[in-house]
Amino acid sequence: MYNNTDFGIKDIVDNQKSLFYVLTPEEKEELQHHISLSNYRKNEFIFKEGDKPTGLIILVDGKVKIYKEGVGGREQIIRMAKPHGVIGYRALVSSENHIASALTLEESVICSISADFIMTRALKNSDFAFKIIQKLARELAFSNGRMVTLTQKHIRGRLAESLILLKDKYGVENDGTTLRVYLSREDIANLSNMTTSNAIRTLSTFANERVISIDGRKIKVLDANRLERVSKLG
Amino acid sequence: MYNNTDFGIKDIVDNQKSLFYVLTPEEKEELQHHISLSNYRKNEFIFKEGDKPTGLIILVDGKVKIYKEGVGGREQIIRMAKPHGVIGYRALVSSENHIASALTLEESVICSISADFIMTRALKNSDFAFKIIQKLARELAFSNGRMVTLTQKHIRGRLAESLILLKDKYGVENDGTTLRVYLSREDIANLSNMTTSNAIRTLSTFANERVISIDGRKIKVLDANRLERVSKLG
DNA sequence: TAGCTTTGATGCTATAAAACATACGAATTA
DNA sequence: TAATTCGTATGTTTTATAGCATCAAAGCTA
């Protein structure tokens, strides 16, 4: 059998979808010396708001929430990360401190590539730089879109959009309906800009309306079209 | 006297703060053939949400709002642009359509650099690419910050933050207090995620509290510290 | 310059969502 | 195993803010 650690690194360098696929063979070789893997348990910080970035992080396995603390410590989840997602690169490439915290939602494996390698080697490769540009540009579009959604949609619309977002990001189990992510009601609330009570209440309402079904943290999307409509119209 | 048009282009290529400062002499030479200036009157669109980007736009002179339309056509101003600011580059570099509209707030001069030159020449220069990365990264931080502000702060805090933002962006007139930007109450509202009525009302309250003074669209910040506190605490 | 439209101002009403309270089962800890 | 905390659920109250109406002043334009 393969060693899980080696597998992770190989995949990151060689996978066609990887950021690092565009590096030259020499750069890939050097990358090997600037890469490290580590394991996190559930509910561990990968970094906190205000921290200086130590490298570019790839989530090899697991799930992570990236969130900011706002008024009175109230948490707003900025985005969710899934395996092969990149974390903490915004602060790194702009030479700033992290503006959000990253916390594992389950046992996770992360791969860290030294800040030095990214800044002094990888970014000198304009193909790699272009990959980063595309990531940032798409994330900026997402953030601007969320800004409008979270400020303008009503609770039902915001929650519906979050459920769609989770479905798109993590997909569904083999039954074709159960979301492949098991969040607390509080996290769902913090993703959707509402109180935990209202997330609970509104999920119940959706379940009564047969748009979803809920069984603890297991959420099935029964009527995706209807959910889409609720997201648009409330 | 100088020709306004030539002056604008020279400045864009040669100014140390310009994005294009890092281009090689050959690239700068070629840039000359891919650049054009145009004049806009007040309230003209530079581009609209959904448009395909035609180039990278630099605001040479004037003021522009970049906004998205949300629920029921309600407008949310994403950001404001000032002279030497870059507009519409997010969509361009990610090969997507514009996700927001850009509208002049006063007579403006813009300089447009062809999409082709940016994508096939400039971005191959990793120094230029890095400049774009930094711009995107900072704008993403701004957007994420605004997302939390606009969703969590109360009206007073949101309006105070917008006023500070306008002061930081456009500065003040020679008297040291009058904001160098003259927006309608509606625009102030759309920047701050509130209704026009509430923007008017809350500006009046601030004026009564002697934090600002208002005279039509002329706003003086009388007590910047207090405004900062209101922004933080409401 | 008169009439029309837009913008700013202010009061009143309606309502969405927060805040608070209580309860209960499950998980964790003593 | 009892005690305690945590996550979920649901009902009630309170409040911030949207929505609506009215009016005055300013700015346009015919």
CB contact under 8 A, A132 and B133: yes
pLDDT above 90 (res A38) = yes
pLDDT above 80 (res A168) = yes
CA distance A166 to chain B (A): 19
Average pLDDT score over residue span A33-56: 96
Strand C positions within 7 A of protein Cβ atoms: 7-11, 16-21
Average pLDDT score over residue span A172-186: 97
Q: Which of A14-28, A145-159, A172-186 has the lowest mean pLDDT?
A: A14-28
pLDDT above 50 (res A193) = yes
CB count, 10 Å around CB of B216?
6
Average pLDDT score over residue span A208-228: 97
Taking the CA of residue A25 and the C1' sugar atom of nucleotide D5, their distance in angstroms comes to: 55
**In which band, very low, low, confident or very high, does the pLDDT at B12 lie, cut at 50, 70 and 90?**
confident
> Closest nucleotide (CA of A198 to C1')?
C17
**In which band, very low, low, confident or very high, does the pLDDT at A164 lie, cut at 50, 70 and 90?**
very high
CB contact under 8 A, B78 and A132: no
Residue whose C-alpha is closest to residue A175's, from A234, A222, A217, A139? A222
Question: What distance in Å separates the CA atoms of residue B20 and residue B189, rounded to the nearest whole number?
Answer: 35
| Per-residue model confidence as pLDDT tens digits over B127-146 | 999 999 999 999 999 999 99
**Does A56 contact strand C, using a CB cutoff of 7 Å?**
no
Residue whose C-alpha is closest to residue A126's, from B112, B84, B27? B27
Output the average pLDDT for chain B: 94
pLDDT above 70 (res B149) = yes
Rg of chain A over Cα atoms, rounded to whole angstroms, equals 19
**Does A5 contact strand C, using a CB cutoff of 7 Å?**
no
Higher pLDDT among residues B1 and A135, named by residue: A135
**Does A194 contact strand C, using a CB cutoff of 7 Å?**
yes
B76, B94, B96: residue with CB nearest A148 = B76
Q: Which residue has the tokens 């004026």?
A: B207
Determine the pLDDT at residue B15: 85
**In which band, very low, low, confident or very high, does the pLDDT at A4 lie, cut at 50, 70 and 90?**
very low
B130, B137, B146: residue with CB nearest A129 = B130
| Per-residue model confidence as pLDDT tens digits over B174-212 | 999 999 999 999 999 999 999 999 999 999 999 999 999
Helices (H) and strands (E) in chain A, counts: 9, 10
> Closest nucleotide (CA of A197 to C1')?
D9
Average pLDDT score over residue span B87-103: 98
Contact residues on chain B for A125, CB-CB shorter than 8 A: 126
Residue whose C-alpha is closest to residue A14's, from A2, A1, A4, A29? A29
| Per-residue model confidence as pLDDT tens digits over B35-88 | 999 999 999 999 999 999 999 999 999 999 999 999 999 999 999 999 999 999
| Per-residue model confidence as pLDDT tens digits over A63-93 | 999 999 999 999 999 999 999 999 999 999 9
Determine the pLDDT at residue B2: 38
Determine the pLDDT at residue B8: 61
Is the alpha carbon torsion for A139, A191, A94, B110 positive or negative? positive
Q: What percent of chain A has pLDDT over 90?
A: 92
Higher pLDDT among residues B52 and A3, named by residue: B52
| Per-residue model confidence as pLDDT tens digits over A122-158 | 999 999 999 999 999 999 999 999 999 999 999 999 9
Question: What distance in Å separates the CA atoms of residue A183 and residue A205, rounded to the nearest whole number?
Answer: 18
**In which band, very low, low, confident or very high, does the pLDDT at A159 lie, cut at 50, 70 and 90?**
very high
Determine the pLDDT at residue A7: 54
The kind and range of the H/E element at A59 are: strand A55-61
Which residues touch B74 (CB under 8 Å, ≥6 apart)? A152, B190
